[in-house]
Amino acid sequence: MMNLELIMILLPIVFMVHEYEEIIMFKRWLGQNRNELKRRFPRFEQFLASRGYFDYSTATFAIGTAHEFILISVVSFCAVWFDAYQWWFAAFAGHSIHLMVHLAQWAVYRKYIPVIITTILTLPYCIYAFAEFAKASILSPTQMCLWAAIGVVLMVLSLLSALFLMDKFQKWQNKH
């Protein structure tokens, strides 16, 4: 189990490696690509604009990432500590699907997006982690699918709460 536990503890680090690219590049990328987004994906650009995402500061993006990092870290460490591997698998599946969404975004946009380099760099970890977890036979394939679905639902709820915190922080930041 030692190798699997190391893999589990590495998830928050892999998550942050990926998120740093987004934190560092997203604000500038949105500004530089807004006109192209408006031309090619007008509904998506309108969605971002109507929620004020073009006005979010780098610190605001970092707030959302910190929220996600804390959650994925707590889940990872508690899963190892309490042998609750299914909860780690849910978080891992949510993160892995998150990366698949970025790959789809890149395929649709057909140009650099501020998540793709670290998505590609962290995919080998995800493939290896999944293979090792499956080899350990801790969860049946049916259980893995169930916990992956739970992970996706929790990922969406987590994202919504992160966006809520980001919105509150941005409003606070604009006042000060």
Phi/psi at 140 (5° precision): -75, 165
**pLDDT per position in the chain (176 positions), as tens?**
579 999 999 999 999 999 999 999 999 999 999 999 999 999 999 999 999 889 999 999 999 999 999 999 999 999 999 999 999 999 999 999 999 999 999 999 999 999 999 999 999 999 999 999 999 999 999 999 999 999 999 999 999 999 999 999 999 999 98
Contacts of 116 (CB under 8 A, 6+ apart): 102, 103, 106
Q: Which residues contact 89 (CB under 8 A, 6 or more apart)?
A: 133, 138, 139, 144, 147, 148, 151
Provide the whole-model pTM. 0.91
Domain ranges of the chain: 2-175
CA atoms within 13 A on the CB side of 86: 11
